[in-house]
Structure 1
Amino acid sequence: MVDISPWPFSGALSVMGLTTSLVGYMHRAPLMWVYFFGLLSLFLLVFTMVRWWSDVVVESTYLGCHTSLVVRNLRVGMVLFILSEVFFFVSFFWAFFHVSIGEISMRTVGQWPPLGVKAIYPWKVPALNTAILLGSGMTVTWAHKAVSVHNKCPAGVLNPNVSSSAVKYEEYNMLVEKGACYQKQAIASMALTVGLGAFFMCIQYEEYYMASFTMADSAFGSTFFIMTGFHGMHVFVGTVFLFICTLRLAYRHFSFNHHYFGLDAAIWYWHFVDVVWIGLFFAVYVWGY
């Protein structure tokens, strides 16, 4: 079994600090304190991510602490985490539709987008970002399939559970070559997915830079930047997660008869990010235009 970990507590503390700094910035708190606590919380979050991932890799790959019970609990924990993220974004969508078609819109705004706000045309940059994320979903799925096949093939080490009479030497070499081939495909697909994620964030930054409205421009600007900004933060975390899995693939951590839940968790998270973006695209960009 694994030891008690302090990283969930420090991760929650860092996220709370970042959220508090953002709220303070919106309510015109002293910028010195906002930046200080924001940067401190960001450093704590990055430190927590690095140490937490390091502990998980060591416990699962080198110490053998991830028993079937631990892996099952990890799966349940990841499902609950994604479920909490679903409700997190539901609150944002609720706020968006409340100000666009709810009582606030009818009494104060009168139209959506509000008068004077020029919404972003959805079928150029946002459509390109949608294609990028959908393409990354395809590449990461291919990587998962390749790892599934590679995981069933020996990676140059004889399996003690199989006698030499059961598997001929030539057949064994074919299995090794097949496993190496699929490992290369998995690494290439994962690297492409990481590149697409980074490309998405660059385009999103350019879209922010070219936007004709800011977060202070009515409820439209507030909900737009909050929803797309938090989604971009999730894309960043997912990209880092997939990058770590790519390195682990290169070091053969997902090898013959070794579970690869870390990769499963990263792919689940990435597909969740894809689904959220599709909802954002049609609600905020297409319908909001």
Structure 2
Amino acid sequence: MSQAVEKYFVPEPSKFPIFGSFALLCIGSGAVMWLNSVGPGPEVFFLGMATLIYMLFGWFGQVIRESEGGKYGKQVDSAFRWSMGWFIFSEVMFFAAFFGTLFYVRVIAVPSLGSELNAGLIWDGFKAAWPTAGPHAADTFSPMEAWGIPAINTLILLTSGATLTWAHWGLTKDNRGQLKLGLLFTILLGAIFLSLQAFEYIHAYEEMNLKLTSGIYGSTFFMMTGFHGLHVTIGAIMLLVMLFRVLAGHFTKEHHFAFEAAAWYWHFVDVVWLLLFVVVYWL
């Protein structure tokens, strides 16, 4: 007996990649001009952001319509899974660069600068200990403590991972009420995390004199935690879209990869924060 061969879906030519390329060009060039006070930097930057939002709404909307129209089969599902996996791997490498930088500074660079070989070459008052106020911090600052808001935020993100898993269980059991409630709790916890992080930044700037310009400690602290906050924001937006789709009746217990992809991303964000809490705040 001959077996039916599944037909692979071939999408129509899309205009959205060129919009995405234009958006990234404007965002990058606009940010550079803005930071250097050259030309219409802010206008170019926000034009890129608006174009990017248009692309995301249009392209993902098209994919959702194709998926809900039953055009995707197992091959497309497999391609989506591989694509999301590689995307998260690229994000792992992104944060690995920051963790590698912090490791190099703390374990290699700072002790090396304090060695006898470099005696007399470093600024007055330098101590080969972390955190260091050098090389460009003019004023003293207080390092961020692990206990307090960072510890609370750790508990919040761990709880959000549990509520998202609970929502996934509801989907696999076709319990739509549990699915909606779990997603809503996860999004709210993400919003609370971001609010507390914003409060932490304000406190750092106003009360601790800890700023992005506070030497290598300030720059690594704000770059690592700030980019993580950006990823939490992106993850919360993804989950909010999933909630809207659930409310619209999308997903079944057999077919729901978009939900799984958003959950993968959120759990990745959770793991990164645990590493940040230990390496940046605690140690």
**Normalised by the size of structure 1, how large is the TM-score?**
0.80
Distance 1:100 1:196 in 2: 33
- The answer for the alignment partner of 1:190 in structure 2 is 183
- The answer for the alignment partner of 2:220 in structure 1 is 223
- The answer for the alignment partner of 1:37 in structure 2 is 44
Letter in 2 for 1:111: A
Distance 1:48 1:271 in 2: 26
Within the alignment, does 1:50 sit opposite 2:57 as a pair? yes
Given that 2:183 and 2:239 are in contact with CA atoms closer than 8 Å, whether structure 1 keeps it comes out as: yes
Given that 1:18 and 1:41 are in contact with CA atoms closer than 8 Å, whether structure 2 keeps it comes out as: yes
Counterpart of 1:3 (choices 7, 12, 22) is: 12
Distance 1:15 1:140 in 2: 31
Counterpart of 1:267 (choices 236, 253, 263) is: 263
Distance 1:272 1:76 in 2: 16
Q: What is the correspondence of 1:91-130 to structure 2 with a 5 Å cutoff?
A: 91-104=97-110, 106-107=112-113, 110-115=128-133, 116-130=140-154
Q: What is the correspondence of 1:1-289 to structure 2 with a 5 Å cutoff?
A: 1=9, 2-8=11-17, 10-11=19-20, 14-15=23-24, 17-19=26-28, 21-22=30-31, 28-30=35-37, 33-61=40-68, 63-104=69-110, 106-107=112-113, 110-115=128-133, 116-150=140-174, 182-211=175-204, 212=208, 213-255=210-252, 257=254, 259-287=255-283
Count residues with an aligned counterpart. Answer: 252
CA RMSD of aligned residues (A): 2.1
Distance 2:56 2:185 in 1: 22
Report deviation, 1:225. 1.0
Distance 2:83 2:21 in 1: 15
Given that 1:215 and 1:222 are in contact with CA atoms closer than 8 Å, whether structure 2 keeps it comes out as: yes
Given that 1:105 and 1:112 are in contact with CA atoms closer than 8 Å, whether structure 2 keeps it comes out as: no
Instruction: After superposition, give the CA deviation of every residue in 1:67-112 in whole Å (9 maximum; x if it has no partner).
Output: 1111110000000000011001100111112222222563256221
Extract structure 1 runs of 4+ deviating beyond 6 A.
Answer: none
Letter in 1 for 2:96: V
Report deviation, 1:14. 3.5
Given that 2:31 and 2:42 are in contact with CA atoms closer than 8 Å, whether structure 1 keeps it comes out as: no
Given that 1:98 and 1:105 are in contact with CA atoms closer than 8 Å, whether structure 2 keeps it comes out as: no
User: Which shifted more, 264-273 or 45-54?
Assistant: 45-54
Task: Tell me: CA distance 1:237–1:6, structure 2 relative to 1, closer, same or farther (3 Å).
Answer: farther
The higher relative CO (CA closer than 8 Å, separation ≥ 6) is in 1
Segments of 5+ residues of structure 1 without an aligned counterpart are 151-181
Task: Tell me: CA distance 1:79–1:16, structure 2 relative to 1, closer, same or farther (3 Å).
Answer: farther
Instruction: After superposition, give the CA deviation of every residue in 1:151-194 in whole Å (9 maximum; x if it has no partner).
Output: xxxxxxxxxxxxxxxxxxxxxxxxxxxxxxx1011000001101
Task: Tell me: CA distance 1:19–1:134, structure 2 relative to 1, closer, same or farther (3 Å).
Answer: farther
Task: Tell me: CA distance 1:8–1:230, structure 2 relative to 1, closer, same or farther (3 Å).
Answer: farther
Report deviation, 1:46. 2.1
Task: Tell me: CA distance 1:256–1:91, structure 2 relative to 1, closer, same or farther (3 Å).
Answer: closer
Report deviation, 1:64. 1.8
More helix by share: 1
Identity %: 35
Given that 2:30 and 2:44 are in contact with CA atoms closer than 8 Å, whether structure 1 keeps it comes out as: yes
Distance 1:39 1:184 in 2: 39
Distance 2:89 2:198 in 1: 27
Q: Does the residue aligned with 1:57 lie in a helix, a strand or coil?
A: helix
Instruction: After superposition, give the CA deviation of every residue in 1:113-140 in whole Å (9 maximum; x if it has no partner).
Output: 1142311111100001111111000000
Segments of 5+ residues of structure 2 without an aligned counterpart are 1-8, 114-121, 134-139
Instruction: After superposition, give the CA deviation of every residue in 1:29-74 in whole Å (9 maximum; x if it has no partner).
Output: 016643223322222222222222211211101x222111111100
Q: Does the residue aligned with 1:225 lie in a helix, a strand or coil?
A: helix
Task: Tell me: CA distance 1:234–1:18, structure 2 relative to 1, closer, same or farther (3 Å).
Answer: farther
